[in-house]
Amino acid sequence: MIVLDEPYASEPLLAWMESSQHPVLDNEFARTTAAGRALNLVSADEAVRRIDAGERVYTNSENALAWIVENAHNESLSRAIGLFKDKAAMRQVLAALDPDLFFKTCSVDELFKLDFSKLEVPFVLKPSVGFCSMGVYAIQDREDWERALADIQRNASTWHDMYPESVIGSGSFILEGYIEGTEYALDAYFDATGAAHILNVLRHDFVSAEDTSDRMYVTSAPIVRETSALFTQWLDRVNALVGARNFPVHVEVRVLDGHVCPIEFNPLRFAGLGGTDVSWHGYGYRTYEAFLEDERPDFDRAFEGKGDKVYTMSLLNPPADATGDERFDYDAFLSRFSHVLEMRPFDVRRVGNYGFLFLETDAESANELDFLMHSDLKEFLR
């Protein structure tokens, strides 16, 4: 069962839904987005019947979670959605896995009354419920703290204009100790027995410790091969505490000296805004197809001849001083790269970014990734 919702459904997902004829909830977004396609649209009553019966469900967007929770009667599914979506709740459930990690929750009002001198730096400030690095701040000193509070005051209403409360929450924040290590993003799912299965691993690279953007996610055959066993074992430990079944999840973690520490879990979907399509562009398999049809990808076959290739998904965040009125010159931007797999433009006012870039590089074109990571994109604003 597939439930589509705002803001975006990718062309690879729409094409596969049409060819596979998997059932899709008949709602306004599905009808509008798939206009001209022969999707297998089913009524709300039929969708609820399927979900309540335990059929696997996948969403393209966290906007769909509210409909599922409000209409379906699958208590196990609803519990897992609520738990994975709430960062503070997950910290409490998984506390035994990271007993030394500091975390604190507070309301917006409490946040602005905190005495910074009593807080242990460095730490990360972020919404208890959130999406796509919105409202995430790395705090090293009082200047960072004051800048973060000012930014929250300035942008909170804009975030709520772009995404519903079920996606970005209503005002609860979490402060947690800064997690050291290499960051990764996992597309994975728990099967009918609760066992974890990795579908893709992306390394999340940053310019600096203060960088919290989604500009650079890279995957390669070596990255997946070298990390999938570690992440599978860790997810099995997580699910021993959560108990999810037939459940897809996108997870952000950091790894230091073989220890995995979670940053966040995103329920019932894989990499957002269609970012999970990097596996289709790079390796020729669809993560959502693997989950819905319970057919795990053959990594040996998928990675054949790809050992020296790096596949990147990059969310093109605007410069801090951009107004949203500028025009982004996609042609000039794309001319900087030798092997673009897809450029997926977004309405920056609606989504908050210029788009998703999918890119293939190798040793000879690795400098393109350095440019992509460090560019503030101002040279492409018109």
| Domains of the chain (ranges, CATH numbers) | 2-84 (no CATH), 102-177 (3.30.1490.20), 182-380 (3.30.470.20)
Q: Count CB atoms within 10 A of the CB of residue 296.
A: 14
Q: Which three-class secondary structure state does DSSP give residue 310?
A: strand
Closest CA to 86 of 127, 123, 125, 58: 127
Order of strands across the sheet that contains 196-205: 259-267, 247-256, 182-190, 196-205, 216-219, 310-315, 355-361, 340-345
What residues in the chain have per-residue pLDDT under 50? 131-132, 160, 163, 166-169
Dist. CA 10–CA 265, nearest whole Å: 21
SS3 of 5-47: the string is: CCCCCCHHHHHHHHHHCCEEECCHHHHHHCCCCCCEEECHHHH
Dist. CA 190–CA 116, nearest whole Å: 40
pLDDT in tens, 137-160: 989 999 999 999 998 888 766 654
Q: Give residue 159's pLDDT.
A: 56
Q: Give residue 104's pLDDT.
A: 87
Q: Give residue 168's pLDDT.
A: 42
Instruction: State yes or no: cis peptide before 318, omega within 30 of 0.
Output: no
Residue 185 has φ and ψ, to the nearest 5°, of: -120, 130
Q: Give residue 134's pLDDT.
A: 65
Q: Give residue 152's pLDDT.
A: 87
